[in-house]
Structure 1
Amino acid sequence: MGHRDKGDRPGDRGRSGGIDRRGALHCMVWAGTGVLWGLSGGVPRSLGLVGDAMAAAPSGFTFLQISDSHVGFDKPANPNALGTLQEAVGRISALPQKPEFLIHTGDISHLSKPQEFDNADQVIGGAGLPVRYVPGEHDLLDDGTGQAYLDRYGRGSQGAGWYSFDAGGVHFIGLVNVVNLRAGGLGNLGHDQLEWLEDDLRGKSASTPIVVFAHIPLWTVYADWGWGTEDAAQALSYLKRFGSVTVLNGHIHQLMQKVEGDVVFHTAMSTAFPQPAPGSAPSPGPMTVPPDRLRSLLGTTRVSVLQGTKRLAITDSPLSAS
């Protein structure tokens, strides 16, 4: 689909603005709640969301990823998921260098209820930034069709909500892998979306930095819990010729990274609650920890590229000591 006009950007619910065309992906950081990426000279680098690191941020194109807000969740793992989302947005609003937009990698809501989406929109809108969304499985619970999600966030998208756009010299691709998801089953992209993806990438230069974002990881983190996408290999085959590919996901509510050739996979923390490490519990789901430990699991993660390599280096810094 290539470049979109500003008036036709799926999920763009904030302000529009000029894009600094000075390069490719440069940084990603977590604020216990979100991860800040920037673009500068085609190389991923990291900054902190708070303190001296962010104050020294270079000018350039930046965007921020948040994930798994689960607005409406109120169980012991986090009785106030809306409050921790507000905390995340407060940190975003306080940034001295404003990102150009946010990416939300799914599970905006917990039960797809209109009030949950309304509350999420109000809080996330407080960042004053455009937002690009892809759905999580919790956003498609309304009637199984995901129409409520599409009505709010899918303008200009294809199929179940997939789309692409160009910004800052980077090609962004939002994929949907949560339609018809079976309990405990792997995510799936489906034939139509895979054909669209192949066509979308056709004609793109191999030197174009690519950022792919979807809810469920595009690599198999833990098949027994459905933490992977069954037809991801086909999608990734279309990306092999590109020299810089970054894949951003949520769903598992914890930081994990994998590198395959020129592809870096990174999963995001939740703004709502942690989940257990793969295989460390009978099943996935909200993990209850003592209240004074919660923010130690919603911490800050700095991600950078070591000089001379395309791979990202990740350092986790919790919001509070464990």
Structure 2
Amino acid sequence: MSNFPIPIGFNGPLINPNADQTLLKAIESINRLKHQPDFIVFTGDLTHTTDDPQERRLRMQAFRKIISNLHVKNIKFLPGEHDASLDKGAAYQEFFGDLHYSFDHKGIHFIALDNVSDPKALLGPAQLDWLKADLAQQHTDAPIVVLTHRPLFDLYPQWDWNTRDGQSALDLLLPFTNVAIFYGHIHQEHIHTTEHIIHYGAKSLIFPLPAPGLAPKRAPIPWKVDQPYAGLGYRNIESYSKQKTYSIDEIAISAGELI
């Protein structure tokens, strides 16, 4: 498995010279977990941006083949702007299905939102209407988990870390008393609250980004030879629906795995 090619598009030797290994390391780490997760979520940017529609599809096909090595086969996908913003999610849907959807699992209602296929970083009226109708089927005390790529709140709009109509989605969610939101895009851990709603940002498997506003521009943090894979990782989330709480375990990528 360690010799499997990773043609998903990223090439940055000063940022992550082992980018062809990081996803494989995460897969092997997950496969070794004593208790395998019920399902796995990829919160977007499955591949790197390309203007070539054929190359975009080849990268998505490669990603699908790579993750077939996971023991867990119940996998949920979200598009990132790298996957979907140039063609409104056309190629993404061919390989990974709907851009937004909902499902129920062990008493929790999950909602996956698409805030990337519109290049203006909008959910849009049609998706907001869908969200309103979906939420109308839930009790106000139902445990709800929302999955997005971009943050729904204005974390740092100067760096494109927001959803322009995200507040409209939050307004629909605020009447519900048990809501958690998990998102990617910012390549780091981050916790924010909108009244009683908690937002959790997550690390990347390719490169970390600086904290909002703590650098002149949004740019990847360079690779540290003495700390390989620093700032990279994934998380294991355990839900306790009766207590309406979540336990989050951040798992770092280890230099000693795989190679």
Shift of 1:318: 4.9
Which residue, 100, 112, 121 being the options, matches 1:174? 112
Cα distance in 2 for partners of 1:313, 1:200 equals 26
1:279 to 1:70, Cα distance in 2 relative to 1, 3 A: farther
* TM-score w.r.t. length of structure 2: 0.83
Partner of residue 221, structure 2? 287
1:265 is the counterpart of 2:199 = yes
What pairs with 1:70-219 in structure 2 (closer than 5 Å)?
71-75=8-12, 76-111=14-49, 113-128=56-71, 129-140=73-84, 143-154=86-97, 157=98, 161-182=99-120, 187-219=121-153
**Counterpart of 1:293 in 2: which secondary structure?**
coil
Cα distance in 2 for partners of 1:169, 1:315 equals 21
Residue type matched to 1:153 in 2? F
Residue type matched to 1:135 in 2? P
What pairs with 1:19-34 in structure 2 (closer than 5 Å)?
none
The unaligned stretches of length 5 or more in structure 1 are 1-68
Shift of 1:144: 2.3
Partner of residue 238, structure 1? 172
Is the CA contact (8 Å cut-off) linking 1:73 and 1:79 kept in structure 2?
no
Residue type matched to 2:145 in 1? V
Residue type matched to 1:165 in 2? F
User: RMSD of the alignment, in Å?
Assistant: 2.8
Residue type matched to 1:83 in 2? Q
Cα distance in 1 for partners of 2:25, 2:94 equals 27
**Counterpart of 1:165 in 2: which secondary structure?**
strand
| Greater RCO (Cα-Cα under 8 Å, separation 6 or more) | 1
Is the CA contact (8 Å cut-off) linking 2:184 and 2:204 kept in structure 1?
yes
1:319 to 1:126, Cα distance in 2 relative to 1, 3 A: closer
Is the CA contact (8 Å cut-off) linking 1:89 and 1:126 kept in structure 2?
yes
Cα distance in 2 for partners of 1:70, 1:312 equals 35
CA deviation vs aligned residue, 1:246-300 (integer Å, no higher than 9, x gap): 1010001000001233311001100111112211223213221323324231257
1:80 to 1:296, Cα distance in 2 relative to 1, 3 A: closer
Residue type matched to 2:78 in 1? V
The unaligned stretches of length 5 or more in structure 2 are 1-5, 51-55
Aligned length: 242
Cα distance in 2 for partners of 1:169, 1:302 equals 19
1:245 to 1:295, Cα distance in 2 relative to 1, 3 A: same
CA deviation vs aligned residue, 1:167-221 (integer Å, no higher than 9, x gap): 1111111100012325xxxx22111100100001103112211010110011111
Cα distance in 2 for partners of 1:136, 1:79 equals 22
What pairs with 1:18-57 in structure 2 (closer than 5 Å)?
none
Residue type matched to 2:126 in 1? D
Shift of 1:120: 1.4
* TM-score w.r.t. length of structure 1: 0.68
Is the CA contact (8 Å cut-off) linking 1:162 and 1:176 kept in structure 2?
yes
Is the CA contact (8 Å cut-off) linking 2:25 and 2:253 kept in structure 1?
no
Is the CA contact (8 Å cut-off) linking 2:204 and 2:233 kept in structure 1?
no
**Counterpart of 2:211 in 1: which secondary structure?**
coil
